Amino acid sequence: MKNFSFMAMGNIHLDRKFSTGITGAADRLASFDAALSLAAKKSLNYIFITGNLFDSPNPSEDVLKHVADSFSKLTSRVIIAPGACDPGSVNSCYKTFKWPRNVFIFPSAEMNYIEFNDRFRGAVDRDYLISGGMETGRKGIRIYGAAFEGHFRKESILITSKGDTPRLSSSYINVLVMHGFVSEEGKGVFNPVPRDVLNECGFDLCAIGGEKSCRRKGNLLVPGTVCPSGFSEEGDCGVYIGEVSDGGFVSSDYVDVAPFKYETVTFDVSGREDISPSAIAKDILKLTNTANCTRIELTGELLFDENVDVDIIGDILNPSFPLVEVCDRTVKRADLSIFNNEKTFRGMYTSAIWDSVKASRDISRKTGTTSHNERNYESAVNLALKIIDNMNVSGTYSSLGKKKEPPEVKKDESGEGDLFDFSFDIGEPGSDSVREGGILPE
């Protein structure tokens, strides 16, 4: 038998109605089209779709027709394993829609195989057998898999109710294509796949989708996400393209097809001489890839009279990124006992907190247990110091919906420097502004 080439992809979520970033339905469709263009250009033999081609079992008619038309133009055979978001239920598009002849869909939640002989290149005739048909005696490829029939699958598809696993024939190259999560424990609600069982089966190639991030380990390919929806899907997004030899050797490369990547960058402001928004923004630009949608997390320790303003920093960075978020993760460092003697609101507040801290510590000493209240007091002081210092305590800036214009720059009266003309309000307290600090004296 000849070597065969393939593409593995999953988590495409066509027709998804929501996004947590700037990538939307059009971007997902464009990424899908880019992947199919690669398959056509390279004349790949197979396209393995490891679940969640759509975001529901019944996508819109326009999207469904677009996908079917795109598949019909390929010389590749398309193998689909319906996933958790687009299960192959009775009324799903996988059962009710007339798919092109080169599209093969696993019909049920029971493990099946599709068999092809060695005339696979460019052929679209249905020279296959499903689920234990008579042996043809021809060397070829058997593609095993199954469909989700609902949104959850607690039992592993790879293991039958009798505890059996697929019996593979050495006369064929054996491939596994399905939706699920590979783990050491083999526990979960989305077709948990025990790693030891997977290894014992002896597949030449395993393409298993479900995870958001791509990875490869030996003959296991996890395609990840074709097009990310937001910062929860960071890192590489694309497809695996590879080849399997007659001896079962797998070679593959990961190819990006998404218009954007999402990444989170940590920026420590501790010990900086210049913590002005312009200086911080300038240094952030040196450390980041402006082609990506980027979340910057400002971390580190600030003195009680030092502030960072995420709104101004975000507005400076906004024109340089497709999407930028700036999150304040800094903590205030101060000796609380010093503030107790101040005849100010800050002094009265910290004095009250200090009394509560001492009471909490007394309880801890008497009971011999660690009190978690002290950590809450630290967060309360940290938040209060930011409010008192007139910071935007919401702690997060996002460029979604904002114009890409840089902030207006004005000269100060002396003409010696630039001033950014901004006004900002104290925001509503949110979870991002409550940070563990270590600001309480021992």
Residue in 200, 103, 125 with CA at minimum distance from that of residue 156 = 200
pLDDT at 399: 92
The superfamily in CATH containing domain 4-256 is Metallo-dependent phosphatases (3.60.21.10)
Highest mean pLDDT among 227-231, 330-334, 382-386, 415-419: 227-231
Residue with more model confidence, 407 or 353: 353
pLDDT at 38: 97
Q: What is the DSSP string of 142-187?
A: EEEE---SSS-B-S-TTS-TTS------TTEEEEEEEE-EEESS--
| Cβ–Cβ < 8 Å for 77, 116 | yes
Confidence of residue 130 (pLDDT cuts 50, 70, 90): very low
Q: Do residues 155 and 186 make contact, with C-beta atoms less than 8 angstroms apart?
A: no
d(CA 184, CA 192): 10
φ, ψ at 314 (rounded to 5°): -65, -40
Cβ 320 vs Cβ 338: under 8 Å: no
Task: pLDDT band for 126, please (50, 70, 90 cuts).
Answer: very low
Summarize the confidence of residues 277-302 as an average pLDDT.
Answer: 95
Would you say residue 111 has pLDDT above 50?
Answer: yes
- Strand (E) positions, 10-69? 46-49
Contact predicate 319/405, CB 8 Å: yes
What value does the mean pLDDT of the chain take?
A: 82
Q: What residue spans define the domains of the chain? A: 4-256, 262-433
d(Cα 174, Cα 168) in Å, to the nearest integer? 7
Q: 155 pLDDT exceeds 50?
A: yes
Distance CA 356, CA 371 (A): 12
pLDDT at 2 over 70: no
pLDDT at 246 over 90: no
Please compute the mean of the pLDDT values over residues 271-280 and round it to a whole number. 94
pLDDT, tens digit, 9 for 90 and up, residues 364-407:
778 877 665 666 666 677 677 666 665 544 578 999 888 887 55
With a pLDDT cut of 90, the percent of the chain lying above it is 57
What is the pTM for the complete model shown? Answer: 0.77
Least confident of 18-22, 42-46, 78-82, 256-260: 18-22
Average pLDDT, integer, range 94-118: 91
**pLDDT attached to residue 60:** 96
Report yes or no: 308 and 279 within 8 Å, Cβ to Cβ.
Answer: no
